[in-house]
Structure 1
Amino acid sequence: MKGYKSHPYIPNSVLEVQKEMLKEIGLNSLEELHAEIPDEIKLKEGINLPKPFQSEYELKRHVEGILSKNKTCKENLNFLGAGCFQHYVPALCDEINSRGEFLTAYGGEPYNDFGRFQALFEYQSLVAELVDMDVVNVPTMDGAQAAATAVRMAARITQRDEVLVPKAMDYEKFLIMKNYCAPDLTLIQVAYNKENGQLDLEDLRKKVSEKTAAIFFENPSFLGFIEENGQEISNIAHDAGALSVVGVDPSSLGVLAPPSQYGADIISGDLQPLGIHMNYGGGQSGFIATRDEEKFVMEFPSRLFGIAPTCVEGEYGFGDVAYDRTSFGHHRHEGKEYVGTQTALWGITAGVYLATMGPKGMYELGKTIMQKSQYAVKRLSEIKGVKGSLFTGVNFKEFVVDFNETGKRVKEINRLLIEKGIFGGKDLSKDFPELGESALYCVTEVHTKEDIDKLVVAIQECVKA
């Protein structure tokens, strides 16, 4: 303990205080607290840590200095999406989710439930209306987990162990699903049409079998195009005794039919487009929705909130539905899956966003995004050597820009765009090598005509450089 100094922020690090606390519990040293840990895995030397700051002010300045190195979307134009999107966040969303009873509450338990159960019930109801389903869970950690959980639900319902997924999906999402489903559930990729990006139905029919638990596809797809064969894909799944599981971007549902109207049994998606800031890649949250049928409801691993009678006749409250089916119930080892802390705060935020927008607002949002993204495709196609959209057909929000004929690599173009204060699209050359030098661009309601025109001029200069 020679040269020991107390920690400036932790009062009980003072040596005298430690001795008094150890004496109270019958120990002589801090090391005795960890006596059960094998000696061979204990760290023998000190950790090489920088000296602690002696004041809160110094610490704050240090952290702010680090954060100032970030290049953000406030001072740069952003056309990067690929799972984390720049949408406008109404001030009301931040106002409500920063309230103490929501921001600091944990899991919605009775000791901190000041409307949290009801807020989550309202969120579930609003998302259910948006996707045209009956039951929606409290949020998962992100959309990838929601998709993985959805196909595991399908596997338990069908008692099968294979899931067909599109090759034209986010590779990181595929790896998350693969990891989450291993080792008892196998994901099999289905090819896509190189002209329009649509799921290859011939390849799908070859790969579907009596082992298929579900066919998972996304609409809009990761590459932005709208999947036009949704009903046929669902029919193929149902004819094989499998379920149709569809991943959806909720910001598209003001203008696109919800997957329930083309055969989806389970719907999953990201909540981030619904009033949630990007937060340096954070702000992620996912949802799952099904019909109100026992075979689906009882396979949800996460919490569901419903209206329930109270001990006072004629009075109703909000509480858990079929709580024992979750890993939070009394028999955790019998839970469908283990579910840890979820992103309830983002569910409440999404609920506020949907209540604020309403059906008309969601329609205007979708319409605006489609108009602006189509304008961007048209303008980019005017650049010599650039194809504004690699795939034929209609896109929503995102689209693949083909730079192969420019002789420039996407990596180089993006570097030059950064110098001009623009975040270019996601480089697809690694995850989709068959597309060559292509990038996934994203246009939302926040982009003006001037923003898009500025991008076009900047790319023209980059490909000539």
Structure 2
Amino acid sequence: MTQTFVHPYIPNTAPETHAEMLAAVGAASVEDFYADVPEDLRLRRPLDVPAPLPAEQDLARHVRGILAQNRTTEERLSFLGAGTYNHYVPAVVDEVIRRSEFLTAYAGEPYEDHGRFQALFEYQSLMAELLAMDVVNVPTYDGYQAAATGLAMAGRLTGRGVVLAVSDVLPEKDSKVRDYTRAGLEIERIPTAGGIADLAALQARLSGDVAAVWIETPSFTGAVETQLREIAEAAHAAGAVVVVGTDPIGYGVLTPPALQGADIVTGDIQSLGLHQWFGGAHAGFIAVHDEPRFVSEMPSRLFGLESTDVPGEYGFGDVAYDRTSFAHREEGKEWVGTAAALWGIAAGVHLALMGPQGMADLGELLLARTAYAQRQLAAIPGVGLGDDALHLREFTVRFDTARVADVVTALRAQGIEPGVVVDEHTLLVCVTEATSASDIDRLAAALATAIDPEEQDACDALSDDGKEETK
């Protein structure tokens, strides 16, 4: 008799549970259950994972061994960005979100008071002020989903099916957005010029089938779009909606997209008080003007002030709940699942702590650090900047002859993560307020040596001469 192994941590491996689940969905076998999965996507072999560890202490030891391989940006000098950033998180942010009424809450209405609703209302209000918008949603999963939802909203508003992407988009974001919108939208990419949108090419393509013009600013390469107003005017003249994907970190000093013609502004709040945490705590925002036709297309929750039966008293709760995917369920326009509410509270605490002047100071510092890093790296023989656009926090450098992979390997041996590999000769470099001028100087020196080892030999020779003279 064949003995069926029941996994200690996976209940549905028990035969009786397995059978009960299949019966509940009307499937005779697992093959029936997965019949809709295309054959080319099915693995047809066991997963390459370790054998089950029935003893909990053995499992704990195994997991600790895996975690011990991690290295944080506190242990290594990091210039990695590309969507997850090493910004400083004030201690008070962690202190607030670790409170049990926030940390353990899920959707919450049945088993908690309305303090979380007020905290999220305050977050929305602060974000709206920063973005110069009127309405901001409770955070979605991440900025990828927020961008996809913003474009889907544009498709529903216009009844059209084409999106023109005029910026360099983070490849992972582009992939997820295309996947999310593929049933109703076709995304066409307009090549950039000098790191920003090619306005002439956009104007030549705009026509009656375009639902939205999608702008990423800062772009994947950190370029700030300086033609947003002109892009918006051209898009609106063609009846298209302007959807901007952005990072809110710079809007203490940069002009918000809403003041330049953007209709829908989306992005991720990871830079506002959220740690990197080996991949990042992420949450997305969607912001629109106070126009019913835009607000009614937002599928996610909004919290606002609500009057009570007692004159002069008010509370906090859902606004226009009947337009949400939560209310419509299977009849919803699109599905937005569990809100990343805890991260919204973290961002709200961060914004309240920083205030307008703090955000302005931070924006100016990021622009200055970025410019300094560009200047230092571009001064290295054999290295050039990817473009001459204005950059915030990130930029690309190109190596004339050196291979990026070789340079990255050489610098990792010195405890430096120099950036993200874009292609064989292009490196994406990121600096934040946590990156000091001396950190940038160290990167520049290490890059120069990795590109031209003879320079290090010369430095060593000079050092040896100095030692001889000292003797």
1:333 aligns with 330
Distance of 2:451 and 2:362 partners within structure 1: 32
Deviation at 1:92, TM superposition (A): 1.0
Q: Which moved more, 1:160-169 or 1:106-115?
A: 106-115
Consecutive unaligned residues of structure 1, counting only runs of 5 or more, are 19-27, 430-435
Q: 2:354 aligns with which of 349, 354, 357?
A: 357
What are the residue-to-residue correspondences of 1:54-453 with 2, within 5 Å?
54-56=55-57, 58-193=58-193, 196-329=194-327, 331-387=328-384, 389-403=385-399, 405=400, 407-429=401-423, 437-453=425-441
SS of 1:372's equivalent in the other structure is: helix
Letter in 2 for 1:199: A
Deviation at 1:40, TM superposition (A): 6.1
Deviation at 1:32, TM superposition (A): 4.8
Distance of 2:413 and 2:242 partners within structure 1: 45
Normalising to structure 1: TM-score of the pair? Answer: 0.88
Deviation digits for residues 384-443 of structure 1 (CA, Å, limit 9, x no counterpart): 1111x221132111111111x1x21111111111111111211111xxxxxx61111101
Contact 1:140/1:285 (<8 A) preserved:
yes
Deviation digits for residues 14-54 of structure 1 (CA, Å, limit 9, x no counterpart): xxxx9xxxxxxxxx9545524443136399x9998635353
Distance of 2:71 and 2:433 partners within structure 1: 21
Contact 1:80/1:426 (<8 A) preserved:
yes
Q: 1:310 to 1:409 in 2, by over 3 A?
A: same
Deviation at 1:213, TM superposition (A): 1.2
What are the residue-to-residue correspondences of 1:1-40 with 2, within 5 Å?
29-30=16-17, 32-33=19-20, 34-35=22-23, 36-39=26-29
Letter in 2 for 1:54: A
SS of 1:187's equivalent in the other structure is: strand
Deviation at 1:6, TM superposition (A): 9.2
Contact 1:161/1:186 (<8 A) preserved:
yes
Distance of 2:387 and 2:198 partners within structure 1: 14
Deviation at 1:448, TM superposition (A): 0.9
Contact 1:101/1:114 (<8 A) preserved:
no
Q: 1:167 to 1:307 in 2, by over 3 A?
A: closer
Q: 1:304 to 1:31 in 2, by over 3 A?
A: closer
2:444 aligns with 456
Q: 1:290 to 1:38 in 2, by over 3 A?
A: same
Distance of 1:37 and 1:9 partners within structure 2: 24
Q: 1:461 to 1:319 in 2, by over 3 A?
A: same
Distance of 2:370 and 2:46 partners within structure 1: 55
Distance of 1:227 and 1:447 partners within structure 2: 24
Letter in 2 for 1:349: A
Contact 2:79/2:419 (<8 A) preserved:
yes
Distance of 2:56 and 2:163 partners within structure 1: 55
Deviation digits for residues 320-375 of structure 1 (CA, Å, limit 9, x no counterpart): 1111111211x323322111112111111110110010001101111111111111
SS of 1:245's equivalent in the other structure is: strand
1:23 aligns with none
Q: 1:65 to 1:292 in 2, by over 3 A?
A: same
SS of 2:326's equivalent in the other structure is: coil
Contact 2:167/2:215 (<8 A) preserved:
no
Distance of 1:462 and 1:383 partners within structure 2: 11
SS of 2:325's equivalent in the other structure is: coil
Q: 1:424 to 1:124 in 2, by over 3 A?
A: same
Contact 2:114/2:316 (<8 A) preserved:
no
Letter in 1 for 2:388: T
1:52 aligns with 53
Deviation at 1:171, TM superposition (A): 1.9
Deviation at 1:312, TM superposition (A): 2.7
Deviation digits for residues 43-71 of structure 1 (CA, Å, limit 9, x no counterpart): 9x999863535345x54333222111112
Deviation at 1:186, TM superposition (A): 1.0
Letter in 1 for 2:209: K
Distance of 1:166 and 1:239 partners within structure 2: 17
Normalising to structure 2: TM-score of the pair? Answer: 0.87
Aligned residues: 437
Distance of 2:120 and 2:53 partners within structure 1: 41
Distance of 1:367 and 1:46 partners within structure 2: 53
Identity percentage of aligned residues: 48
RMSD: 2.5
SS of 1:328's equivalent in the other structure is: helix
Contact 2:213/2:241 (<8 A) preserved:
yes
